[in-house]
A and B are shown apart, each in its own frame.
Chain A
Amino acid sequence: EAGVVQSPRYKIIEKKQPVAFWCNPISGHNTLYWYRQNLGQGPELLIRYENEEAVDDSQLPKDRFSAERLKGVDSTLKIQPAELGDSAVYLCASSLDLRAGYTFGSGTRLTVV
């Protein structure tokens, strides 16, 4: 069974440019999460989807970040425009049952220069 697939693995962009990340969750996992992990820190939740509905986006900086999960499967996370402080690893995770924990993808390491 394929795990959570994320692309790209690495992205380097100049500040003020847009960037998008893509995530394909494990088949059958209705819940999808986007996390941001800053260097030396634990992951912090940005947004959680139940199927195609964003049920918790309270930590998503909505002035520049947006996300979508069309058809309740794949998801994209976009930043426009990117700022220097957005440099981090963006992790996607999916789960069937919250109490069983998540399965994380390998992440996208974003560097904004």
Chain B
Amino acid sequence: GQQLNQSPQSMFIQEGEDVSMNCTSSSIFNTWLWYKQDPGEGPVLLIALYKAGELTSNGRLTAQFGITRKDSFLNISASIPSDVGIYFCAGQPLFGNDKIIFGKGTRLHILP
């Protein structure tokens, strides 16, 4: 079936470091979405990508829609404490009947 493989599962970084995480699939996707979830809250949309090769920024966040349409990455520059949380990639498969599926998330920890 269609699955998203998100990596890494978790990251421990120092404040100020850059972060990179990615999402891959064996299927082609029409849309890639990146969400952040804080404890006790629902996921919040960070960036939406619609075209292969598209590179989009939202403040210190940058995400790209892979050329093969089977992957996407999210970068966070100069991390700050409020970046802590779980980052989910999500995508709409080409043959998914308008369904959006989610990866298992990357848990970001920032060391004091």
* B23-48 interface code vs A (CB 8 A; 1 in, 0 out): 00000001101010000111111001
Selected contact of A104 from candidates B30, B40, B42, B101, CB within 8 Å = B42
Residue B65 CB within 8 A of the other chain: no
Known: A102-B45, A107-B41. A43 touches B102 (CB 8 A): yes
* A92-103 interface code vs B (CB 8 A; 1 in, 0 out): 010000111111
Give chain B nearest CB distance to A60 CB in angstroms. Answer: 13
**In the complex, A48 Cα to B97 Cα: how many Å?**
11
Selected contact of B42 from candidates A4, A41, A44, A45, CB within 8 Å = A4
Interface size in chain A (residues, C-beta < 8 A): 22
Q: Which of B43, B44, B90, B103 has the most CB of A within 10 A?
A: B43
**In the complex, A102 Cα to B102 Cα: how many Å?**
12
Chain B residue at minimal CB-CB distance from A50? B98
Contact B42 A101 (CB under 8 A): no
Contact B31 A99 (CB under 8 A): yes
Q: Which of A43, A93, A104, A107 has the most CB of B within 10 A?
A: A43
A contact set with B: CB distance below 8 Å: 4, 40-45, 48, 56, 91, 93, 98-107, 109
B contact set with A: CB distance below 8 Å: 4, 6, 30-31, 33, 35, 40-45, 48, 50, 88, 90, 92, 97-105
